Amino acid sequence: MKKVFKLDFLGRDLIVETGEMAKQTDGAVLVRYGDTVVLSVCVMGKEVLGQDFFPLQVLYQEKLYSVGKIPGGFIKREGRPSDEATLAARLIDRPIRPMFDEALRQEIQVVNTVLSVDPDNSPVMAALFGTSLCLGISKIPFDGPVAGVVVGKIGKELIINPTAEQIDASELSLTVAGTKDAICMVEAGASELSEKDMLEALMFGHENLKKLCDFQEQIIKEIGEEKIELAKEVIDEEIEKDVNEFGKSMMLEALKVDGKLAKAAAVEEVKQRIVENFAEVYADNEDVEAKLKQVEKLANQLEANLVRALITDKKIRPDGRKIDEIRPLSCDIDLLPRTHGSALFTRGETQSLATTTLGAIGEHQILDGLGLEDTKRFMLHYNFPSFSVGETGRYGAPGRREIGHGALGERALAQVIPSEEEFPYTIRVVSEILESNGSSSQATICAGCLSLMAAGVPIKSPVAGIAMGLIESEDKKKHTILTDIQGLEDHMGDMDFKVAGTRKGICALQMDIKIKGVTEKILKEALAQAKKARMEILDTMEACISEPRKSLSKYAPKIDTFKINPDKIKDVIGRGGEMITKIILEASNVNTVNDKDAVKVDIEDDGRVIIYHTDASIIAKTRKMIEEVVREVEVNAIYTGKVVKVEDFGCFVELWPGCEGLVHVSELDYKRVEKPKDVVSVGDKIMVKALGYDNRGRLNLSRKQALPKPEIKEDKKDKKGSRKENK
């Protein structure tokens, strides 16, 4: 039976429909937010697959019909998810994952299908709301509800879920997700926003998303199913005591070992010794398999508990650092001579090699998605090979993690990239992670920034990033904020809080947690500690290169920009691109425009012409040829032109390439001309005067008026005689 629920959320209708669509799922809701419509469904697998992790899959399916588009390319149907769809799925996954019971092992799939998109009402936020609600009304154990909002900032005003026009004017794009009690996920890009303003925006967003959680609770109370009971594994207290007594001192020693791989090997050896010991102890027990399974789990728990206790009680980190201490830093630039810019950034055992490549504006990325933006001139790509953690693995298309980390780095650096008018290049930064032990995404931001400055990109300010962690005590009464978390602290910890920015303020923010939420106090402390660390990293980066280089690499395309009359664009391009092709081939001395040595020419609708090439002389030649085409004829001016065609009615003269005019037979000479070919021939260079254009836009020229006017000798007697005759 169909039911409809309605909420006026800050002046916009949020409508939920249930009971009509996808009735064979465990939970299904159709969410209408303005003209945006998203169908969110969830299904739980029937069997426990036996894995030791929670198999949750969140999908966000973009349908191009939702914005009235037909997919590009030869195959006219949606294919693999776009980067934007992948990022949306990750954004929905991150706040809901901590809300599931740890004992849940059945596979769960959540599918969000975008059916209609209104640019002013975010389909991602509608999908996050729908995801939480379909799980909430289902039998699946889920400790929600969760909701999210986007916060914008124009001037001093904070705006919830800004429209497309407001987003363009906003200095902040902040997505906040959480429960009624706490924030559990943050994603932000900002124009160097202060920590105080960012915290204010975070709490403003949380205050407003509470209304969406209340709305979900009302719906769940009315139509929600009873949740299934999960079998709880009971740990034998005696086995737990024995494992802790046997392994504690050995595990503490293993955690003191330096180096990621050496420490991991030492810890694994201790776990193996624990299992082997109790395999002998329980050898004669009939439940030996079940008991050893508990021993394995308790050995893993022992490591986590000791790490947590050392940090929260004694403020001792596994590698001996202080709570707010950054691992050793080093920077280097210009490692790769043929790239346009390169840099190596190392922080402890995390290392990123970044390169910057500059290209013509016409080389921008074309986006085939649901947004209003259809091109992108700045891109950051992140690659995480398995060898960076000393493992073998799959190599192929980038996964969700690589796309997500690349997007975070791109968001941070995009805030300082110069405008197209200031620096008319397409810019691509690529980060190759060569080694990883915690927060390679923030190392990417540092290395990427260094490579941009080395390439001569005039960024507004250097940007650095740092990852903060959170460790709570078991009783939740104490917590510790960690600066520059390494892999073990990330794995064992409760929060991954990444902050990137300049000396002036924050450019990007991302937070994921494993607990139910974090408070304003924790966020404030983490932001302050991250700012201190960011300044230290910027000191190291600026000691390597203090500002962007004034000149580009000799291998980077040089540039020349000038403006022409927009009405002349068609003349430069020519019929079927004939004229621009001719200019490119002649100026570059190549046989095809696709030749790597061919000059690149971009012509904007406003008449801006941008020429790229590594050879400045070729750029100058190209510009001169274009200026000849667009050069305008000055009426009554004298020009020297070349005869290109002779007809019975006159001849055509080329003043410069692309500019021809007609010298009518009557304008060839002062004396009568019977045949133009008796006066001029093809190839002759003659002087002509510009008479102007006729009503059909054709240029008229005169050879006669460019010549000296012949003198007329008159006889005085004739003049007198003529006077008498006239009388």
Q: Is 487 left (phi over 0), alpha (psi -120 to 50) or beta?
A: alpha
Determine how many CB atoms are found less than 10 A away from the CB of residue 271.
20
Residue 353: what pLDDT? Answer: 97
Average pLDDT over residues 219-230: 92
How far is the CA of 708 from the CAs of 471, 633, 667, 669, in angstroms? 96, 22, 13, 10
Of 633, 469, 7, 595, nearest to 641 by C-alpha is 633
492, pLDDT greater than 90: no
How far is the CA of 35 from the CAs of 30, 54, 161, 536, in angstroms? 12, 35, 14, 47
> End-to-end CA distance of the chain, in Å?
116
Q: What are phi and psi of 502, to 5 degrees?
A: -100, -175
> pLDDT band at 368, cuts 50/70/90?
low
Place of tokens 């994603």: 187
Percent helix, strand, coil in the chain, to 5, is 35, 30, 35
The SS3 of residue 663 is: strand
Residue 715: what pLDDT? Answer: 54
At 10-21, the pLDDT tens digits run: 999 999 999 999
pTM assigned to the model: 0.83
Residue 726: what pLDDT? Answer: 46
The domain over range 237-314 is classified in CATH as 1.10.10.400: yes
280, pLDDT greater than 80: yes
Q: What percentage of the chain exceeds 90 in pLDDT? A: 63
Class in CATH terms, 3-161+170-223: alpha beta
Residue 373: what pLDDT? Answer: 63
In 545-658, which ranges are E strands?
A: 558-563, 600-603, 608-613, 638-647, 650-656
Task: For the chain, give the mean pLDDT.
Answer: 90
Average pLDDT over residues 215-220: 96
- Which of 185-199, 289-303, 347-361 bottoms out in mean pLDDT, i.e. has the lowest? 289-303
> pLDDT band at 483, cuts 50/70/90?
very high
Q: Which long-range contacts (CB under 8 A, 24 or more apart) does 542-549 make?
A: 542/462, 543/331, 544/331, 544/332, 544/333, 544/343, 544/450, 545/331, 545/333, 545/450, 545/453, 545/454, 547/453, 548/452, 548/453, 548/456, 548/457, 548/458, 548/459, 549/453, 549/454, 549/455, 549/456
How far is the CA of 417 from the CAs of 344, 414, 714, in angstroms? 20, 5, 78
Distance CA 455, CA 434 (A): 21
Determine how many CB atoms are found less than 10 A away from the CB of residue 699.
19
Residue 652: what pLDDT? Answer: 95
Residue 27: what pLDDT? Answer: 95
Residue 482: what pLDDT? Answer: 93
721, pLDDT greater than 60: no
Average pLDDT over residues 118-143: 95
The answer to whether 661 touches 670, Cβ cutoff 8 Å, is no
Place of tokens 């697998």: 45
Of 537, 334, 351, nearest to 343 by C-alpha is 334
Distance CA 631, CA 325 (A): 64
> pLDDT band at 628, cuts 50/70/90?
confident
Residue 406: what pLDDT? Answer: 94
Residue 20: what pLDDT? Answer: 93
The answer to whether 49 touches 116, Cβ cutoff 8 Å, is no
Average pLDDT over residues 110-115: 96
Place of tokens 């959170």: 470
> pLDDT band at 723, cuts 50/70/90?
very low
> pLDDT band at 375, cuts 50/70/90?
confident
The token pair that represents 75 in the structure block: 């195959």
724, pLDDT greater than 50: no
Average pLDDT over residues 362-385: 80
The token pair that represents 74 in the structure block: 């030869």
Residue 369: what pLDDT? Answer: 66
Q: Return the CATH number of the domain spanning residue range 329-544.
A: 3.30.230.70
718, pLDDT greater than 60: no
Residue 725: what pLDDT? Answer: 46
Most confident of 301-310, 368-377, 592-601, 680-689: 680-689
How far is the CA of 7 from the CAs of 32, 222, 703, in angstroms? 10, 15, 81
Residue 458 CB partners (closer than 8 Å, separation 6+): 418, 422, 423, 548
The CA R_g of the chain, rounded to the nearest whole Å, is 36
At 40-83, the pLDDT tens digits run: 999 998 877 666 778 899 999 999 889 888 887 777 888 888 88
Q: Where are the alpha helices (DSSP H) in 282-422?
A: 288-314, 400-414
> pLDDT band at 711, cuts 50/70/90?
confident
Q: The domain at 558-630 falls in which architecture?
A: 2-Layer Sandwich (3.30)
Residue 92 CB partners (closer than 8 Å, separation 6+): 58, 60, 110, 112, 124, 127, 128, 131
β-strand pairing of 685-693 with 638-647? antiparallel
The domain over range 638-706 is classified in CATH as 2.40.50.140: yes
Sorted by where each begins, the domain ranges of the chain are 3-161+170-223, 237-314, 329-544, 558-630, 638-706
Matching fold, domains 329-544 and 558-630? no
